Amino acid sequence: SIKEPPQNPPPRPPADLRRKRL
């Protein structure tokens, strides 16, 4: 059903836009 979110992890943010958090 479209009401259920995908069962796979979402993609990480695009690499060039990723903030460094660790």
Partner 1 sequence: GPIILETYRAISDYSKNSKREVDLSAGDMLEIIEKNPNGWWFCQCESRRGWVPASYLEPLEGPDEAEEPEPNYEGELYETIKAYTATQEDEFTLQAGEIIEVIHKLLDGWWVVRKGEETGYYPSMFLCKTGLRKEA
Cβ atoms of 11 and 17 closer than 8 Å: no
CB of 4 to partner 1, least distance (A): 7
Q: What does the block give as tokens for 15?
A: 């690499």
Residue count, binding to partner 1 (CB under 8 A):
16
Contact pattern from residue 1 through residue 22 relative to partner 1, giving x for each residue in contact according to CB under 8 A and a dash for the rest: -xxxxxxxxxxxxx--x---xx
Q: Closest approach of Cβ 7 to partner 1, in Å?
A: 8
User: DSSP string spanning 1-22?
Assistant: -TTSPPSSPPPPPPGGGPPP--
Contact residues toward partner 1 (CB under 8 A) are: 2-14, 17, 21-22
